Amino acid sequence: MQIILRAGILLLFLFSSASAQKILSPGEFNTDLERLHGLLLKYYPGLYYYESADRFSARMDSLRETDSLSVLEAYRRFSLLTSEIQDLHLSVGLPPRYFGKDIRVLPLILRKFGNDFYVHYNQSDDSTLVRGTLIRSLDGVPPISDFYRFRTLYGADFGNLYSKNYYAERNFSGLYTRWYGKRDSVEIRYRLPGDSSEHRDSLKFLPPKTAMARLTKRYKNVRRKNFDLEITDSLSRTAKLDITTFKGRKSLFPFTENKFRKQLKRSFREIEADSIRNLILDLRGNGGGAVVNVERLISYLSPTPFRIYDSVYITRAGFRKIFRPYLGVTALAGRLYLNRKTENGYYRSYVTEKKKSKPVRRHGYGNRLFVLMDGGSYSATTFTISLLRNLDRGIFVGTPPGGANWGSFAGQFYSAKLPNSDIRVRLPLMKLVHSTEGLKHSDFFVQPDFYVEQSFEDFLQRKDTPVEFIKQLIVNERN
């Protein structure tokens, strides 16, 4: 048995090494490029939404190759193609076994202020790299140069820079590996806080699990917990509710999202019991999840019945991926739901439907609401923010969210593999348009009432600038 296991591990290692070292001929790369184009035309409902067909075609022509290139180089090229389509839900990824089990990441979590990058959390062996250490270069390259490179690896809705900057900064250590490939170490040049001298050191890259274990061991409460409820000021009866994801835990019936529903009810029951008058709903960094949970959350916050969708659309090919033709009942249910037909697909309009979602009768919150958002507030989270904004329910603080006010291409996804490079393509299959009934705010991206980002001074002192801003707003009004 051990011999078989060792042989399997060896084969996996050899496969991973072969994938990483594989060189694609111009013909192989161009075949994959055409395959990617075909997938977009067939399944993706957002092609040419933010970019004209002529511009897309010109970019396709510019990417055709006459030279051989590695899988990593091909990944960068395909990322350029998809990122300019301007949709964060659309992506390409390296082959799943490209790094094998030996993937390693930069052991630093950095924060960007201006064009400079500073140590936020240090997971390396060198304990002298304290918070606020200025990183001058990584293997001779200033972090800001890598930051701009990393932004080309993924799209953002209509080129939303708040979104691109958020993910390029927050995912810097992982993106470093995706851009440069497997690394054992990196030479850094840095300056410690209060020290004008420049130092140099070599940092070993760490397996992701090791890096995460060090992070949680060295920095207590570093990770926000979903549904964490904290009273921030007992005098003004102010509390902050963190919702870090709209995804529930895995369960036997995941489509019901019962875990999320129960946690939500428990939170608002506590908010009612504590007589909270000012609720800070923290949606920063929430990348989304299940739309059913958006509806559930808003039902606790909206004083009136509300509508979620304006319309839902899917291409014919996308429909066949979701509602399999060989499952007759499933396909029939799909057509009953998407009850209108177009030349290229199916859709449902909710505009004329009388049915609306209703506010909950027990534990609903009708007092003052503040909504915290940033470029990492995406997908179902943008959906939530957009609906709350249209309901005039809340004071919005932070920066614009990552997604568009009108809706997104999301809902269901299809993953395909390109034949020669094994690069993966993730395609959203549905166009989800948010309800615009009684539209009061038509900004393309929801704009905050108060633009507030963390200051460098608060970063050094571990202060949450937007939360402190809201608390001061409440104090000023009370006085």
Residue 234 pLDDT exceeds 60: yes
In a shared domain, residues 327 and 253: yes
pLDDT score for 290: 94
Residue 211 pLDDT exceeds 90: yes
Q: Does residue 100 belong to any structural domain of this protein?
A: no
Between these two residues, 477 and 27, which has the higher pLDDT value?
Answer: 27
Round to whole Å and give the CA distance between 353 and 376: 33
Round to whole Å and give the CA distance between 335 and 346: 8
- Domain of residue 329, residue span: 229-478
In a shared domain, residues 300 and 237: yes
Please report where in the chains the tokens 């062996």 appear, as a residue: 125
Residue 330 pLDDT exceeds 90: no
User: Which of 189, 218, 247 is the C-terminal boundary of a domain?
Assistant: 218
Total tally of structural domains belonging to the chain = 3
C-alpha distances in angstroms, 187 versus 111, 137, 205, 454? 19, 8, 11, 29
Nearest to 304 by CA among 438, 173, 115, 213: 438
Q: Which amino acid is at 375?
A: G
In a shared domain, residues 58 and 119: no
**Mean model confidence pLDDT for the chain:** 92
71-83 and 2-21 are packed helices; what angle lies between their axes, rounded to 10 degrees? 60
Q: Does residue 203 belong to any structural domain of this protein?
A: yes
E-strand ranges in 88-198 read: 91-93, 108-113, 116-122, 134-138, 185-191
Q: Does residue 102 belong to any structural domain of this protein?
A: no
Residue 63: strand, helix, or coil: helix
What would the pLDDT profile of 336-394 be if each residue is shown by its tens digit?
999 999 999 999 999 989 999 999 989 999 999 999 999 999 999 999 999 999 999 99
What would the pLDDT profile of 153-180 be if each residue is shown by its tens digit?
999 999 999 999 999 999 999 999 999 9
In a shared domain, residues 276 and 318: yes
User: Which of 218, 239, 271 is the C-terminal boundary of a domain?
Assistant: 218
pLDDT score for 472: 96
CATH code of 180's domain: 2.30.42
In a shared domain, residues 60 and 84: yes
User: Which of 193, 218, 243 is the C-terminal boundary of a domain?
Assistant: 218
Nearest to 160 by CA among 401, 432, 430: 401
In a shared domain, residues 390 and 267: yes
CATH code of 301's domain: 3.90.226.10
In a shared domain, residues 235 and 209: no
Round to whole Å and give the CA distance between 350 and 291: 15
In a shared domain, residues 86 and 121: no
How confident is the model over 9-33, as a mean pLDDT? 72
pLDDT score for 8: 43
Q: How confident is the model at residue 20 (pLDDT cuts 50, 70, 90)?
A: low
Q: Does residue 103 belong to any structural domain of this protein?
A: no
pLDDT score for 10: 38
Two structure tokens written together for 355: 């049915």
pLDDT score for 327: 66
Q: Does residue 455 belong to any structural domain of this protein?
A: yes
In a shared domain, residues 301 and 382: yes
Q: What percent of the chain has pLDDT over 90?
A: 86
In a shared domain, residues 87 and 184: no
Two structure tokens written together for 283: 């949606």
pLDDT score for 278: 98
Nearest to 79 by CA among 31, 130, 150, 135: 150
In a shared domain, residues 417 and 381: yes
Round to whole Å and give the CA distance between 343 and 318: 14
- Pairing relationship of beta strands 69-70 and 23-24 according to DSSP bridges: antiparallel
What would the pLDDT profile of 60-93 be if each residue is shown by its tens digit?
999 999 999 999 999 999 999 999 999 999 999 9
Two structure tokens written together for 337: 């739901």
Round to whole Å and give the CA distance between 246 and 12: 35
Q: Does residue 248 belong to any structural domain of this protein?
A: yes
Residue 439 pLDDT exceeds 90: no
Residue 4 pLDDT exceeds 80: no
In a shared domain, residues 117 and 183: yes
Q: Does residue 200 belong to any structural domain of this protein?
A: yes
pLDDT score for 255: 56
Q: Does residue 292 belong to any structural domain of this protein?
A: yes
Round to whole Å and give the CA distance between 169 and 144: 10
